Amino acid sequence: MTKEKDRPLIGINMDLRGMGRGELPHSLVQSGYYDSILTAGGIPVLIPPLFREHEVAPLLDRLDGLVLTGGDDMDPRKQNVAPHQSVRVMSERREAADRLLCRMAAKRKLATLGIGLGMQEMNVEHGGGLFVHVPEDLPRAIPHRDPHGGAHRHIVIMEPGTLLEEIYGEGEIRVNSYHHQGVRKLAPMFRPAAHAPDGLLEAYEYHDMDEWWCVGVQWHPENEGHISLDTQLLEAFIQASGRGFRRLAPSKVKAA
């Protein structure tokens, strides 16, 4: 059994809310993220939206893994895409902080699990692109969220020969789904790992998982990880973090 002191430290980025008039800004994170990390064997460390490298670096130097959480949408204008009425833009500070985490995690080869928005951010930051609103950009797409905000599920199909197929098994599974955006162009450093029946990418992984354990999933394993195969994804992430997939010494990591 892993000793408590040997459990990997897993960073979890926090959201930033309350930026309106008369509101005090506050950081928060859904409890499912840190509860699922604890259950899988890690120790969660909450990361506020820090956007200066010299503030973030000492923290990442101590972490063994990173979870990039879900949230509102990235600003389409920062991707040279026209805004859309369906887009709910996250705070500018959070987007800057999250993009910095994406760059620094990749340079450190820090084991990373991107969830929902986190998957999209990592993809965009490394050269990929997004559909701004799937129902309009892909008119024949299956529903990927409940328009009333309730629970929604659909099938995803695992790509043969991927880590996700090894974790979830071959063929198809049902996952929760809450998103209206999706991956239009996959960043060159990643390979597809799962698709929805309509062809929309639902998961990716780094092209050489022996070099860097990095997985992005559009669904939310932290919501149901205690009762489904999602537990195995979270445990695989914790195991990779514990093996120390970030092998570059902090002093040798170039500035982001």
Q: Does the residue 246 lie in any domain?
A: no
Average per-residue pLDDT in the chain?
Answer: 90
Q: Does the residue 146 lie in any domain?
A: yes
Q: Does the residue 247 lie in any domain?
A: no
Q: Is the dihedral of CA 66, 72, 78, 80 positive or negative?
A: positive
User: Across the chain, how many H-helices and E-strands are there?
Assistant: 8, 13
pLDDT at 254 over 60: no
Could you read off the pLDDT of 16-47 as tens digits, one per residue? Answer: 997 677 778 899 999 999 999 999 999 999 99
Q: So what's the pLDDT on residue 246?
A: 45
- What confidence tier does 90 reach under pLDDT thresholds 50, 70, 90? very high
Q: Does the residue 256 lie in any domain?
A: no
Please report, for the domain that includes residue 41, its CATH number.
3.40.50.880
CA distance 11 to 50: 13
Q: Does the residue 15 lie in any domain?
A: yes
User: For 110-121, b where at least 16 C-beta lie within 10 A, e where not — what string?
Assistant: bbbbbbbbbbbb
Could you read off the pLDDT of 126-138 as tens digits, one per residue? Answer: 999 999 999 998 8
Q: Does the residue 253 lie in any domain?
A: no
Nearest to 155 by CA among 91, 104, 102, 198: 198
Q: How many domains, the chain?
A: 1
Q: So what's the pLDDT on residue 236?
A: 96
| Domain interval for residue 157 | 9-241
Q: Does the residue 213 lie in any domain?
A: yes
